[in-house]
Structure 1
Amino acid sequence: MKLNRQKILDFFRKSENRATVILNDKSKANKTIKDALGKAITNKGALDGVWAKMVLLFGVAKDYVNGDYTEIPKKSIVAILGGLIYFLSPIDIVPDFVPFLGFIDDIFVLNLVYKQVINDLEKYKEWKDSQLQIMNIDGSTV
């Protein structure tokens, strides 16, 4: 099966447009992220090749929407949320219910988004690592 890259990219651009609107409503943005995460967990086996990337995309999206991490360009967060919206849509270029192929376009889009924002994700990972605190047995931080 040959994928039509242009159709996928056009559909993704529509998802980015929706992401721009959704980002203005924190509850809608959180619901979108939560729903996409639920779908990802349910279909983890089909997403094995991009799972680690998806976890990172979910993390930065959640931290951005919650206001914990805002050091990412708006363009990048729109691309990330757009990718999650594309993934969440059951009817996209290759419908998700198509056996063995249903997630191929989703994986393509998520990889595209990842490559597009990789430098921002590296900065996010550094920030996230710096947020981790080691706890002593008595509960105090080191």
Structure 2
Amino acid sequence: MKLNRQKILDFFKKSENRATVILKDKSKANDTIKDALGKAVTNKGDLEGVWSKMVLLFAVSKDYVNGDYTEIPKKSIIAILGGLVYFLSPIDIVPDFVPVLGFIDDIFVLNLVYRQVLKDLEKYKDWKDAQIKIIGDVDGSSAS
């Protein structure tokens, strides 16, 4: 089965447009992230190749929506949320219920998003690591 890359990108563009609207409503944004995380956990075996990337995408989007981390460009957060919206859609280029192949387009899109925002994710990881270190220093659990 050959994937139509342009069809996937067109569908993803629509998902980014939906993400722009969703991002304006903190409650909707949180629900979208929560729903995507639930679907990801349920289908973790099918997502093995992108699991660690997805965990990072969920974390940065959650921290952004909650106002904890706002150093990421809006364009990047829209791409990330757009990827999650695409992932959530059961009827996309390859419907998720198709055995074995159902998540192939989702994985393509999530990898695309990840590569697109990689520099922003690296900055986020540095920030997140610093937060964990600060918490460790405050509660005395750091090994310094």
Counterpart check, 1:70 vs 2:58? no
The residue identity in structure 2 corresponding to 1:31 is D
RMSD after superposition:
1.3
Structure 2 distance, partners of 1:52, 1:110, is 11
Counterparts of residues 95-110 of structure 1 (less than 5 Å): 95-110=95-110
Partner of 1:113: 113
Counterpart check, 1:122 vs 2:122? yes
Instruction: Identify unmatched segments of 5+ residues in structure 2.
Output: none
Partner of 1:134: 136
| Moved segments of 4+, more than 6 Å | none
The SS at the match of 2:100 is coil
The residue identity in structure 1 corresponding to 2:118 is I
The residue identity in structure 2 corresponding to 1:134 is G
**CA shift at 1:140, angstroms?**
4.7
Instruction: Identify unmatched segments of 5+ residues in structure 1.
Output: none
The SS at the match of 1:134 is helix
Report which of the two has the higher share of helix.
2
**CA shift at 1:135, angstroms?**
6.5
Structure 2 distance, partners of 1:141, 1:41, is 30
